[in-house]
Chains A and B, each alone.
Chain A
Amino acid sequence: MIKFRKNIWEFANPNNFLSIANKIIPFFLILTIITLSLGLVWGLFFTPEDYRQGSSVKIIFIHVPTAFLAINIYFMMLLASIIWLIRRHHVSLIAAKSAALIGLIMTLSAVLTGAIWGKPIWGTYWAWDPRLTSFAILLMFYLGYLSIWQTMKFSDKIGDLSSWLCIVGSIFALLSRYAVFFWDQGLHQGPSLSLDKEENIDNVFYFPLIICIIGFVLLFLTLLLIRIKTEIQKRKINILLNARDG
C-alpha cells in the first residue's frame, strides 16, 4: 500500500517518484474512469432540459471543468516553475513541462465547447468579451511556453529559461486580463457569453457538475503522472545512451 512519506520533498528524487507513480497510477486511473463516467452520464442523460436553453446547456458538464482546469493548470505550472528555480528539483520542472500540453488542450476544449454552446444560445461562435478574450490570451501564453521547449535539448538551462518565461507570462497575462476587464466595465454591459457557475446553482445540475469537475481534475492528475513518468524514463534512456556512446 502507499506509505506516507514524512516530507513531500522526498518526491523530488526521480527514482522515488517513479516507484510511487508506478503504484498509484492505476489507482488514479480507475478513480478517474469511475468519477468521469458517473458525472458525465448523470449530467448528460439524467438531468432535465433547461427551460431556457434546451439540452444544449448540458455541454457545461465539459465546458466548465475544462475552463476551470485551463486556468488552474497555468497556476500549477507557475508554482512548479518557481519550485524548480528555488529548489532545483527536476521532477518539478518536468511536471511544469508536462502540464503545459494538458493545459493547452484544456484551453482549446474550453474554447471549442464554449463555441458549440454559444451558437444555438446566442447565435455566435465567438465574441470579444472579456471572459473569452482572457481565454484567448491564456491560449497564447500556453503556446509561448510550449514553444520555448522546442529550442534546445533538455538541460538545466532550458528549464531555467522556461521557468522565467512562465513567470513573465503570468505577470503579463494578469495585466492583460485586467486591461480587458477595465475596458468592459462602465462602457456597455453587452451580452456576456459565459455563465458564472453560480447561475447553475439549481441542485439538479449542481451535483453532477461538481462530480464532473472532480473527474476532470483526476483526469488531469492521471495524465500528468503518466507524462512525468514517461519523461523521466526518457531522460534516463538518453543519459544511458549518451554514456554508452561516449
Chain B
Amino acid sequence: MKLSFHLLKYELLFALANKGILLSTSFFIILILIVGIGFGQIGESSEKTLLAIIWIAISLSSLLSIKTMFQEDFDDGTLDLYILSNTSIETIIFIKSIVHWITTNLPIITLIPLISFPLGITIYHSILICFVMLLSTPALSFISTIGAALTLGEKGGNLLISIFILPTFLPIIIFGMKISLLITNSTYDIMAHLILFALSLICIAITPFITSLIIKIHYT
C-alpha cells in the first residue's frame, strides 16, 4: 500500500513535468470552440449535436497524450525496473492509468460546465453530464493504455493508436451519449447510469491484465 502511494506520488510528478495537463485541456477547448464557431456560422446548433462533440473531444484529448505513458519509461529503462521489482506490473499500470486520468480527463471535466455555456447547454444539464463523464472517463484512460502498450517503440504512433482504440471506446461512448441525451430531455435514468458504471468497472478491471501481457511481448 505504501509502495502504491509512493509510486502514485512519483508518477504524478512525472506526468506533471511533462506538462500534459495544459496540452490536453487546450486541445479540448480549441476543438469545442472551433465546432462552436463552425456551427455559429452555419446558424444551426442544437444542444444535442454539441453533446456529441463534447464526447468526441474528450475522447480525443485523452487519447492523443497516451503515447508518453510507457514510451518514456521504456526508453530510459524505468520500465525494466518496474518489471523486475516486487510490485506486479498490473499495479503499476493501474497507478499510471489513474495518474493519466487525473492529469488529462479530470481537468477537462472541470471545464465542461464553463465550455457548455457558450454552446447552449444549460449549466444544470452540463453538471449532470460532468457526473456521467466522471463515471465513464476513467475507463477510457484505462482502455487507452492498451493502445499505448501496443505501439510501444513505434515512432509516430498517435494516429495509429486512435485508429484501433477509438472503436474500443464505443460501448462507453454509446451509453454515455445516450444518457447525456436523456439528460438534455430532462429524463434521468438511474438504471442507465448504473449500467454505465458497471461497464466502466469491467473495463478498468480487465485492462491492466491485458496491458501487462502486451508489454511483456515487447520484452521477448
Contacts and interface: CB of A to CB of B under 8 A. Distances in A.
Interface of A: 137, 140-141, 143-145, 147-148, 150-152, 156-157, 160-161, 164-165, 167-169, 171-173, 175-176, 178-180, 182-183
A164 B167 contact: no
B166 to A, nearest CB: 8
A169 B214 contact: no
A157 B160 contact: no
A160 B163 contact: no
Given A156-B220, A169-B167, 8 more contacts: A141-B164, A147-B160, A151-B154, A157-B218, A164-B214, A169-B168, A175-B199, A176-B174
Contact of A161 (B165, B170, B214): B214
B199 A144 contact: no
Contacts of B195: 182
Which of B146, B163, B167, B210 has the most A CB atoms < 10 Å from its CB?
Answer: B167
B106 to A, nearest CB: 24
A172 B213 CA distance: 18
A137 B164 CA distance: 11
A176 B220 CA distance: 33
Nearest to B164: A144
Contacts of A150: 160
B108 interface: no
B17 interface: no
Majority-rule SS of A interface residues: helix
Nearest to B219: A157
A151 B170 contact: no
Which of A141, A151, A157, A169 has the most B CB atoms < 10 Å from its CB?
Answer: A151
Contacts of B199: 175, 179
Nearest to A176: B170
14 contacts: A145-B164, A148-B164, A151-B151, A151-B157, A161-B150, A164-B214, A164-B217, A165-B150, A165-B164, A167-B210, A168-B168, A175-B199, A176-B174, A183-B178
A168 B210 contact: yes
A26 B119 CA distance: 62
Contacts of A164: 150, 210, 213-214, 217
Contacts of B163: 143-144, 147
B31 to A, nearest CB: 21
A176 B177 CA distance: 13
Interface residues of B, number: 27
B160 A160 contact: no
Interface string B158-192: 00100111111011001100100000000000000
Contacts, number: 71
Interface string B129-173: 000000000000001001000110010010010011111101100
Which 7 residue pairs of A and B lie closest in terms of their CB atoms, listed nearest first?
A144-B164, A140-B167, A172-B168, A175-B171, A176-B170, A179-B171, A179-B174
A140 B165 CA distance: 10
B174 A183 contact: yes
A154 B195 CA distance: 41
Nearest to B151: A151
B143 to A, nearest CB: 8
A119 to B, nearest CB: 25
Contacts of A169: 164, 167-168
Contact of B146 (A145, A168, A180): A168
A160 B174 contact: no
Interface in B206-220: 206, 210, 213-214, 217-218, 220
B170 to A, nearest CB: 4
Contacts of A141: 164, 167
A195 B178 CA distance: 26
A185 B171 CA distance: 16
A75 B171 CA distance: 19
A178 to B, nearest CB: 8
Contacts of B214: 161, 164
A157 B217 CA distance: 7
Contact of A152 (B154, B213, B217): B154
Contacts of A137: 167, 170
A175 to B, nearest CB: 4
Contacts of B220: 156-157
